[in-house]
Amino acid sequence: MILVMFGPPGAGKGTQAQLIQKVLGLVQLSTGDMLRAAKNAGTAIGLKAKEAMESGQLVTDEIVVGIIADRISEDDCKNGFILDGFPRTVAQAEALDKMLTEKGLKLSHVIEMEVDDVVIVERVSGRFTCASCNEGYHDSFKPTKVEGTCDECGGTEFIRRPDDNAETVSSRLKAYHEQTAPLLPYYKEQGVLRTVDGMASIDEVSRQINEVLTV
């Protein structure tokens, strides 16, 4: 099974991808993590990414798709994977489709998490993660059970991203609506787009996604 988690920043894509990963054994793939790993590993495509990054240039779609192609060839992806944060443009979606077709693969579902912009700003502004195990939390929606202590590892140090503020989130939402939202009709035409209510609770969103995946 090959999934794409789709939605604006802060919609909860990463949270749901982690839950799917635990239940179905799919591998959650983040383009940022893959780029860093390829760069550090010194692979051919990783060296191209390193050159672009160190020269201050944007990593091209060709390089990103090449890194994804290398990554999904590894054994842990044989049962499927989840793409979180990619593609972001129609051109990237077309390049991804071409690469998958060449490998004899195709997308199973594109899961859109539909969320109101005002809610997004509130969600992102309250996010923080455990510095030790990276477990994610939120001031309002998912606080730690014991204040100041991570539920998972017992850590007491937490991190808030400096760009998780209302002004930056509003700017990212604007870019999302202009550049990424056009992917919806692209995937709808392919018949793989599935929409869930991203404003529901984490458990309810997970239930809706599981319903999509088991049909």
Verify whether residue 172 is a known catalytic residue. Answer: yes
Q: Which of 103, 106, 161, 174 is catalytic?
A: 161
Distance CA 146, CA 165 (A): 25
Catalytic residue (one of 36, 88, 142, 188): 88
Q: How far apart are CA 30 and CA 4, in angstroms?
A: 11
Q: Which of 36, 142, 172, 188 is catalytic?
A: 172
Our answer to whether residue 78 is catalytic in this structure is no
Angle at which helix 166-175 crosses helix 117-125, to 10 degrees, equals 140
As a whole number of angstroms, the distance between CA 4 and CA 135 comes to 22
Active-site hit among 36, 127, 142, 188: 127
Residues 6+ apart with CB under 8 A from 34: 67, 68, 71
Of 13, 48, 123, 194, which is the active-site residue? 13
Judge whether 88 counts as a catalytic residue: yes
Place of tokens 């959650």: 28
71 is catalytic: no
| CA–CA distance, 136 with 156 (Å, rounded to integer) | 13
Residues carrying an active site annotation = 13, 88, 127, 161, 172
